[in-house]
Structure 1
Amino acid sequence: MAAFNFTPSDTSLFILMGIPGLEAAHIWISIPFFTFYIISLLGNFTVVFVVGKEQSLHKPMYLLICMLALTDIGMSTSIVPKALFIFWFNLKGITVNGCLAQMFFLYAIAIMHSAILVTMAFDRYVAICSPLRYTTILTNARIAKLGLVGLTRAVFFILPEPLFLSRLPFCANQIIPHTYCDHIVVAKMSCGDITVSRLYGLVIAVIVIGFDLTLIGLSYGLIIRAVLRISSKKANLKALKTCTAHICVMLTAYTPILFSILTHRFGQGITPHIHIILANLCFIVPPMLNPIIYGVKTKELRDKVGKCRRSSLAATDFKPA
């Protein structure tokens, strides 16, 4: 198999070990991986299908939800299928170019995901602070342009990472103790100077997370200030209720990432397989939860999903005479 067509001098392949120390439990670990992935695909494809089909949902807020669903599909698909091949079939081999490509797509989609969350915060700010100007400020065309800006930013920021690594020589030991090609883990396998690559990765992580969280925090600071100026308590709650879905999605997106970063930085006593499991959960759990959150918290989307389901059931049950 591809996992074993490898010699110490073979520089064309890396070996992804999965979760070292828990090899005997790989089959059991694959169960939640597979379950989360299937739920993620079903939920996010449902959101994309319903928003695309229902003309009444062709609005900025729902277009952003659709864009978020597409990034969720891409993010989980970047790592879960390969992890399942490792768990189920012991297919651990991955080419160097395949490894760098996986790294690029995973991190680029993650940065795009963060940009969409920032745009969603801006959408809520405009909806609450300038409701009369909402339709003129946030048009579908403007949302598409903001999405293009987010995509351009993701490609521009992440593309140098695999390019830096592709120019470095790799040592004979090309075993990656992970389920996917993590940037810093791959960089440490190089026999060359990785200072630039490590610094670039750290700077990009700090800039993206710091900048995006600052913009989101600023948006919600202005939202809270506007809500506090509303005299009616009922109107206050109604305004804040429109933000609950986005707040929940932000918590599911950023909390695991920040927790994983902190455990890497300060959790020296934590076993490596815990770090690996946490790193995987950052890219698997949010894509599974996001469509559920928006399905529960967004009445119009929930109603349209129910309508599509009833229509499909009626079409299935219909039998011509």
Structure 2
Amino acid sequence: MLMFNGSVFMPSVLTLVGIPGLESVQCWIGIPFCIMYIIALIGNFLILVIIKNEKSLHIPMYIFLAILAVTDIALSTCILPKMLGIFWFHIPQISFDACLLQMELIHSFQATESGILLAMALDRYVAICNPLKHATIFSQQLMTYLGAGALLRAFVLVSPSILLIKCRLKYYRTTIVSHSYCEHMAIVKLAAEDIRINKVCGLLVAFAILGFDIVFITFSYVRIFITVFQLPQKEARFKAFNTCIAHICVFLQFYLLAFFSFFTHRFGANIPPYVHILLSDVYLLVPPFLNPVVYGVKTKQIRDKVLKMLISKKPM
């Protein structure tokens, strides 16, 4: 590596600190993170198995849930194994290219999850507000387009930020990353060059994805609530609303954590760095952990299948 005015030119290896200020207790912090990861894997795989094997669940609502489960598995797997390597085995080094790949995958799967939540909201909107046309509108072809579109949109919008780092930023003040994973702004702030365009690009991508999705998801649920409260029968209102409870819980925990983490990073100058890092970690790990729990508890079809699987495994 070449040095120029105290800067490192095109570093080949970066060092992830983990959680600055909490290095002495990182091994203990890794325990609940690992438990959440294991539950996320088991819960999401269980949802996939149930939906795959139960033909009555091969409808848009559960197909989108299966895509969400795959996204959650991929998202949590992108971050936690390396994080536990830092916390438990003291392996903080990561190659620069691997770091950019991790960044690309993490932010792309976050954006994909947001897109799937939007597709699920639109599905519930049509199912409740225009039920007679639901089967016609949400055809197999449309679901394929929505799933592929959410994934493609994520990678297309996130990739320019990664390419800007790779091609534009050549000199770095340090190779020490004060974070537990390769987060966009944590890497950009290492650069010794002008980083304004990278910051602006990252913000535009965040607002283009989360801002767009949250507006249309909110609009969908407002229309759903209006339609539900206009139903004449109390039982019909309860049944219609009950199909949306799990979606609303998942929607709220994903976006509330996202915006809380975002605004804390941008405006919490007086908040200790370890709080910022912990919030970022929680934002990435909690949705994959909670989503299968929420759907398992609130969705009768999945809950019944899980209970049936448990009951059928009687001891010999």
Same fold (TM over 0.5): yes
After superposition, residues 209-248 of structure 1 pair within 5 angstroms as 209-248=210-249
Aligned-residue offset at 1:309 = 3.4
After superposition, residues 44-193 of structure 1 pair within 5 angstroms as 44-167=44-167, 168-193=169-194
> Is 1:205 the counterpart of 2:174 in the alignment?
no
Which residue in the other structure is 1:272 paired with?
A: 273
Aligned-residue offset at 1:172 = 4.9
Aligned-residue offset at 1:181 = 0.5
Amino acid at match of 2:193: G
Partners of 1:59 and 1:140 within 8 A in 2: no
TM-score relative to the length of structure 1: 0.92
Q: 1:9 to 1:216 in 2, by over 3 A?
A: closer
CA deviation map 1:164-221 (0-9, x unaligned):
1011213251100000011011011112222221111001111211110100011112
Amino acid at match of 1:77: T
Most deviating of 133-142 and 194-203: 133-142
Query: Secondary structure at 2:239's aligned position in 1?
Result: helix
Query: Secondary structure at 1:159's aligned position in 2?
Result: helix
Q: 1:257 to 1:238 in 2, by over 3 A?
A: same
Query: Secondary structure at 2:232's aligned position in 1?
Result: coil
Q: Distance in 1 between matches of 2:261 and 2:9?
A: 34
Q: 1:301 to 1:154 in 2, by over 3 A?
A: same
Aligned-residue offset at 1:242 = 1.0
Query: Secondary structure at 1:237's aligned position in 2?
Result: helix
Q: Distance in 2 between matches of 1:294 and 1:205?
A: 27
Q: Distance in 1 between matches of 2:128 and 2:67?
A: 22
Q: Distance in 1 between matches of 2:280 and 2:104?
A: 16
Query: Secondary structure at 2:187's aligned position in 1?
Result: helix
Aligned-residue offset at 1:141 = 3.0
Most deviating of 188-197 and 176-185: 188-197
Partners of 2:114 and 2:213 within 8 A in 1: yes
Where in structure 1 are there 5+ consecutive unaligned residues? 1-7
CA deviation map 1:197-251 (0-9, x unaligned):
1111001111211110100011112112212221222322221111100000011
> Is 1:302 the counterpart of 2:303 in the alignment?
yes
CA deviation map 1:122-180 (0-9, x unaligned):
01101111112111111233212210111110111011111110112132511000000
Q: Distance in 1 between matches of 2:23 and 2:9?
A: 25
Partners of 2:177 and 2:187 within 8 A in 1: yes
Partners of 2:173 and 2:191 within 8 A in 1: no
Q: Provide the identity percentage.
A: 43
Where in structure 2 are there 5+ consecutive unaligned residues? 1-7
Partners of 2:124 and 2:244 within 8 A in 1: yes
Partners of 1:9 and 1:172 within 8 A in 2: no
Query: Secondary structure at 1:190's aligned position in 2?
Result: coil
Task: Provide the aligned length of Structure 1 versus Structure 2.
Answer: 308
Amino acid at match of 1:28: W
Q: 1:144 to 1:308 in 2, by over 3 A?
A: farther
Aligned-residue offset at 1:10 = 8.1
Q: Distance in 2 between matches of 1:147 and 1:248?
A: 21
Over aligned residues, Cα RMSD in angstroms? 1.5
Amino acid at match of 1:146: L
Q: Distance in 1 between matches of 2:9 and 2:127?
A: 59
Amino acid at match of 1:111: A
Q: Distance in 1 between matches of 2:140 and 2:186?
A: 40
Q: Distance in 2 between matches of 1:44 and 1:266?
A: 34
Q: Distance in 1 between matches of 2:9 and 2:16?
A: 17
> Is 1:283 the counterpart of 2:255 in the alignment?
no
TM-score relative to the length of structure 2: 0.94
